[in-house]
Amino acid sequence: MQLPLHIASITNTWSQLMALMLDVNVTSSLATINWDNLNSSVNGKLFQYAPFARACFKDAEGVVGAYDANACAFAQAHYSDGQYRDTIPSSYQGLQWETCSSTGESCLLDWMNPLNEAAFAYPKACQQGSIPAYFLEVQSASDVQDAFKFSVETGVDLVVKNTGHEFQGRSARPGSLALWTKNLQKIAYEPAWIPTGCEDIAPRTAVRLEPGITFNDLYAFGEANNVTLPGGSTPSVSATGGYVLGGGHGGLSNTAGLGADRALEFTVVVPTGDVLIANACQNQDLFFALRGGGGGTFGVVMETVTLALPRTPIQVVTLDGLSTDVNTTRAFWKVLVDNSLVWANAGWGGYAAATSLQYINPLPISEEDAQTSMQPLTDFAAQLGLTVIHEQYESFAVFYQQILEPLYAISGFPLSTSSRLLPAQNFETPESREELLDALLNASANHSLTYVFATTPYAYKADNLTSVTPAWRDSLLLIEVLDTLEYNTTASEQREVIEGLSKSMDFLRNITPTSGTYFSESDLYEPDHEKSFWGANYEKLAEIKLKYDPLHVLDCWHCVGWKGRSDQAYSCYP
């Protein structure tokens, strides 16, 4: 995958960009709505926000903000800076969700070279695309209650927008009101936590956190409190938000479970207006739904309590510098496929692509045992004149900061993906492994990037209170094939890319008919998505949706009980 140009950092002021947050009259189609009433009931926390690159455009249609050369230079310098993007309400990390693909309305820079004037010079005009018409900075449950009431009274669509990492545009929608939760930033250590209202439950070490806390914040907080707080790969992703609500995988998931497994309690405002606590003892149905049923569907989560694990050293193996020629990739992935079952049972998990691997093991094994179990990889690397590096890190967070973060820090470019969970039974015989390897190579051919994620909760003993597809539990790998898009890729070209990814993924779907995939990192056109994301849990989820959102105030693409492709809400989808 090509990375964006590095541009010298320009010391422009943050306040200049903030100045683009203007309170001006809304565009015509929304002008009849009385936004002032909502704004007064939420004490002035309603605002419009200019698209991220607004300041670069001399011409604009229906957006707030103004051309400003200095602010433009700042936006160009930070175009792929995920953590900076987190702070901008109108910013989406998958850039196509800032646009309306079907009409071509957009306000994007060329992410490969943000200085490329073709993207923003006159007569190109900056347009709102799928960026919500208004944002409400959520500070309390009553803000959410007011927004639900407003939506029911006016028919204005709502979306929940946190750090904007959603791959399927679920936190963007033209003409909508976005409940922006990123500034909910509290985090607290709970050394002896008992679920609210529960009796006879032994206290556990936990952390209570609001949705604006990212992995970057979480890992640092864990270090400061001498605990391990597992999570995902990219520092700017919210540690709860859509991650936990959709499932949430990471390098420690094999032994520590998914984000949804570790979520012990939610405080949530449901569309009926109630503020509820959901845990193993109360509102258990909602607890089940929030542990994997998907974000933006059952309510707005204000706070999550998540399990904290002891801070322990981890064994790490890394391999880098593999060539991308197909024979090398085949030989490398053969080692992964042949050893996945043994490695998962031994506690290993992590990340691989065609050219590199980072695997970790948090179990108390010696360095010698780690080397023995990774011998097939060492032998393979030696044949190519490469070395597998074995190290012990004092904690997952230290490993993350030194190894993973530099690899995954970049965000903020348009991307499409397709994915599949690979069940252990496909790894059982030499024949099934060979078939799997062929399918994997076919699925990845001609795409920008393939991730081989050993991030399934295979060795983790789960309770039966999560709603992710059970396919997660007996799978050894999650495969993701990705293609990047250009800033000016048209809707029909996007469709072609998405269909191409989907067709490639059929190689894996065909040999894993009972499996499924990850709700948050799937094909935009995932076939039979209800079965694929939730399996046998779907019917129960649909009932829970009706109970807590009978008026269907919340809706999103391929979410539980969604209104379907033809709904106006999805008019911008390619």
The contact set with ligand FAD (CB under 6 A) reads 93-94, 159-167, 170-171, 181, 211, 232-234, 237-238, 241-243, 245-246, 248-250, 295-296, 300-301, 411, 520-521, 556
Least CB distance to ligand FAD at residue 321 (A): 23
Least CB distance to ligand FAD at residue 138 (A): 8
Nearer to ligand FAD, 195 or 230 (CB): 230
Nearer to ligand FAD, 162 or 515 (CB): 162
d(C-alpha 158, C-alpha 172), whole Å? 9
Least CB distance to ligand FAD at residue 137 (A): 13
Least CB distance to ligand FAD at residue 31 (A): 26
Nearer to ligand FAD, 83 or 113 (CB): 83
Residue 166 phi/psi, 5-degree rounding, is -55, 130
d(C-alpha 484, C-alpha 473), whole Å? 30
Nearer to ligand FAD, 164 or 362 (CB): 164
Strand intervals (E) in 314-397: 314-319, 349-352, 357-361, 389-393
Would you say 212 and 281 are in contact if contact means Cβ atoms under 8 Å apart?
no
Nearer to ligand FAD, 114 or 295 (CB): 295
Least CB distance to ligand FAD at residue 190 (A): 19
Q: Token match 């996945």: residue?
A: 340
Least CB distance to ligand FAD at residue 295 (A): 2
- Is the N-terminal amide bond of 174 cis, ω within 30° of 0? no
For residue 261, the Cα-to-chain-centroid distance in whole angstroms is 16
Least CB distance to ligand FAD at residue 10 (A): 24
Cα distances from 70 to residues 55, 92, 523, in angstroms, run 8, 22, 38
d(C-alpha 542, C-alpha 529), whole Å? 13
Nearer to ligand FAD, 487 or 557 (CB): 557
The amino acid that residue 384 corresponds to is: L
The amino acid that residue 431 corresponds to is: E
Nearer to ligand FAD, 185 or 375 (CB): 185
Residue 299 phi/psi, 5-degree rounding, is 155, -175
CA atoms within 13 A on the CB side of 112: 10
Least CB distance to ligand FAD at residue 351 (A): 9
- SS3 state at 483: strand
Nearer to ligand FAD, 12 or 228 (CB): 228
Q: 209 forms bridges with which residues in the sheet?
A: 187, 304
Least CB distance to ligand FAD at residue 167 (A): 5
Nearer to ligand FAD, 511 or 553 (CB): 553
Cβ neighbours for 478, distance < 8 A, ≥ 6 positions apart: 249, 419, 420, 421, 422, 451, 453, 455, 456, 517, 518, 521
